[in-house]
Amino acid sequence: MSRMVRKRIYIEPRQKELLERQAKALGVTEAELIRQAIDQISDAQATLARKLKAWQEAKAVMEERLQMDVPQTGRTWTRDELYEER
């Protein structure tokens, strides 16, 4: 285990009760539960950053495709015409 740093925090009474119940239910100390929560925040931020980057890359591909000059196939019908009789 790495060296620990002591921190004093203030929480609301409802948070205190929740912390105590959760720590007991999970069989860990309150301090360990707080450490896990901090790690989860860090993991969530990293995941969000990866998702944002992936979306930006996908958006760039879509914008590039929209700019492409695609030759027409010469068809004489529209998609809507296919479903007119239904």
Per domain, the residue ranges of the chain are 16-65
Q: Are 19 and 34 in contact (CB under 8 A)?
A: yes
Whether the per-residue pLDDT at 59 is higher than 90: the answer is yes
R_g of the chain computed on alpha carbons? 27
Q: What is the pTM of this model?
A: 0.57
Whether the per-residue pLDDT at 62 is higher than 70: the answer is yes
Q: What is the mean pLDDT of residues 9-35?
A: 96
How many Cβ atoms sit within 10 Å of the Cβ of residue 84? 7
